Amino acid sequence: MLLLAGLGNPGRDYAGHRHNVGFMALDAIASRHGFSPWKKQFKAETAEGFLESAKGRVKTLLVKPQTYMNLSGDSVQAAAHFYKVDLEDIAVLYDELDLAAGKIRVKTGGGAAGHNGIRSIAANMGEGFRRIRIGIAHPGDKTRVTGHVLGNFTKDDQAWLVPTLDAIADAAPYLAAGDDNGFMNKITALRGEADPRKDKPKAETPKAEALPAPAAKPKTNSPFAGLLGRLTGKAGNKTES
């Protein structure tokens, strides 16, 4: 069994925060792969389903802790203990300040790098779980970090956020197969297909100055675009990081 935990803070007021991109990623996976409705257990919202992978159909539990970020480990540990999921079969999706917006990196183990949710899980269970870090970019000034992380994604952010969530949902079966490289390669391929500049022939002689490429538009057929649009603009500052 695979346990995918997405990190965030509970409640409608916080749903659009950058800190909640882990929740958004699980919503995308659940929608794309036909998981069960969300239910409350283990101080979390959970959904069950299967991911079709190279190893066959892998039963998967999605966990969104409802304990606030700094107690995420309580929920993840309870769910893992109940279903007897080994640490190496747990992957956590969460926001990463030190990655450019929309960039994704996967690693196993390591420090928390200041992320309270990861720190909580590691303190409860050890560090040997997989981490899927989703870049939200650094605001450039450490005094603005809290407001950035605990602020809503903007309408402009949807240009990269919606395709990123779509790519994570499409590539999730590779996580079920334990194929982290395949997961990253699939996401790279999906982004390449979505970028029209990839299909243009290269000029034989490079130009001294090139016009900037137009900003990518979010997929209009994505099931998450409408939801993210409704979340954009909602303010909420009373949350715990």
Q: What is the pLDDT of residue 111?
A: 87
The Cα–Cα gap between 221 and 32 comes to: 13
Residue 185 domain-assigned (yes or no): yes
Residue 24 domain-assigned (yes or no): yes
Q: What is the pLDDT of residue 233?
A: 53
The Cα–Cα gap between 108 and 130 comes to: 4
The Cα–Cα gap between 23 and 94 comes to: 8
52 phi and psi, to 5 degrees? -80, 115
Residue 169 domain-assigned (yes or no): yes
Number of domains in the chain: 1
Residue 238 domain-assigned (yes or no): no
Alpha-carbon distance values, 109 to 9, 21, 23, 103 (Å): 23, 20, 21, 19
Q: What is the pLDDT of residue 91?
A: 98
Catalytic residues: 19
pLDDT along the chain (241 residues), means of 10: 97 95 98 98 98 94 97 98 97 96 94 93 97 96 94 95 97 96 95 52 50 50 58 49 60
The whole domain housing 153 covers 2-199+209-231
Q: What is the pLDDT of residue 197?
A: 40
Residue with tokens 């990623």: 25
Task: Supply the CATH number for residue 63's domain.
Answer: 3.40.50.1470
Q: Helix crossing, 180-194 with 158-176: angle to 10°?
A: 150
Residue 170 domain-assigned (yes or no): yes
Residue 240 domain-assigned (yes or no): no
What is the DSSP pairing of strand 44-53 with strand 56-65? antiparallel
Reported pTM: 0.80
Contact call for residues 120 and 70 (beta carbons, < 8 A): yes
Residue with tokens 């002689």: 205
85-119: string of b/e by CB count within 10 Å (b at 16+)?
bebebbbbbbbbbebebbbbebeeeeeeeebbbbb
Helix, strand, coil percentages in the chain from 3-state DSSP, rounded to 5: 40, 20, 40
H/E run at residue 14: none
Residue 204 domain-assigned (yes or no): no
Residue 20 domain-assigned (yes or no): yes
The Cα–Cα gap between 118 and 145 comes to: 18
